[in-house]
Amino acid sequence: MIVRDTPRRRDVFLILKGSVVPRILPNIAAATLWALAVLLIDRYLIAMPHVSIAVMGVFGLSLSLFLGFRNNAAYDRWWEARKLWGKMVADLRSLAQELRIFTGKGADEAFVLDHILAFHHLHRAQLRGDRVEEDVSRWVGAETAQALLRDGNPPDAALRAVADRLREMAEGGRIDGWGQRALAERLACFPAAQAGNERLMTTPLPFVYSLLVWRATYLYCGLLPFALLDSAGWFEPLVAAVVAYVFFGLAEVTHELEHPFRDQPNGIPLRAMCRVMEIAVCHALGRPAPPRLEPVDHVLD
């Protein structure tokens, strides 16, 4: 995720980190060269068809509305992913407090919180494909980490281990019925969040939306030079480049936000959020806490 203040005026056109310009630059260049070719052919070779600028205005307005709708839908997905991970942070902190109330300090508290941390690292690997064996081993040990990673659903395996421990605590009289119920309800929040994240990862926006947006954008940028022949003159290639930047840029931004868990500059900072959880657990258990992850070149991973 990009973390930086609003850029100064002189930097607005120079910032590339987090921008979609490098990815859409070929489309901008193609639109500019096409507009220049249409202009030169019309001026020096043969008269080209002149399309009404009003007609293109209606076309452009329709495309803008559809791009706006799709962009809002993609941002809703990105924001929902951020809310789900924020809730997992809150649930972990609440779990730590409830463990202290019902079980007090001891091995049971440490076992549950360490395995909840393992769950979040394993879930991060599930969503983004990160290598997390070292992170998981740091909290539950190398042997347990290997066993969890061999499971068909490693995050769920970590939660099952916690559920087994809560059952043992209840059977051993180390926790009463009220505590068992409260902790079970809190534990149920984590698979619910996992399912929500899996839904976002495996169910993108309908492909027909993407296909329609890209087709309409290419058609609009291809027809626009014929509408600018009478009004833009030699500025036609520049106008075509700006329009291509806006429409292709919006389409690319939408595609990026549609996939909030991908390892990309504007993705959700899963490693940083796992580190926040690690710090919370260390504080709860009285352990030395690791430092917060800081942005590197304005990117928080």
180-218 per-position pLDDT tens digit: 999 999 999 999 999 999 999 998 888 888 888 888 889
The band of 300, judged by pLDDT with boundaries at 50, 70 and 90, is: confident
Predicted pLDDT at 17: 66
The per-residue pLDDT for range 118-129, each reduced to its tens digit, is 999 999 999 998
The per-residue pLDDT for range 10-46, each reduced to its tens digit, is 666 666 666 778 888 899 999 999 999 998 988 888 8
Q: What percent of the chain has pLDDT over 90?
A: 53
Does pLDDT of 286 surpass 70? yes
Predicted pLDDT at 9: 66
Q: Which residues pair with 296 in a beta bridge?
A: 299
Residue 82 φ/ψ, nearest 5 degrees: -65, -40
Does pLDDT of 103 surpass 80? yes
pTM equals 0.89
Does pLDDT of 139 surpass 70? yes
- Distance (Å, rounded) from C-alpha 45 to C-alpha 47? 7
- Average pLDDT value over all residues in the chain: 88
Does pLDDT of 110 surpass 90? yes
The per-residue pLDDT for range 263-278, each reduced to its tens digit, is 888 889 999 999 999 9
Does pLDDT of 253 surpass 90? no
The band of 230, judged by pLDDT with boundaries at 50, 70 and 90, is: confident
- Distance (Å, rounded) from C-alpha 48 to C-alpha 41? 7
Strand ranges, E, within 65-181:
none
The band of 4, judged by pLDDT with boundaries at 50, 70 and 90, is: low
Predicted pLDDT at 13: 63
- Distance (Å, rounded) from C-alpha 295 to C-alpha 299? 5
Mean pLDDT across 160-170 = 94
Q: What percent of the chain has pLDDT over 70?
A: 94
Contacts of 108 (CB under 8 A, 6+ apart): 99, 165, 169, 174, 175
Can you tell me whether residue 296 is helix, strand or coil? strand
Does pLDDT of 99 surpass 70? yes
Residue whose pair of structure tokens reads 């605590």 in the numeric block? 169
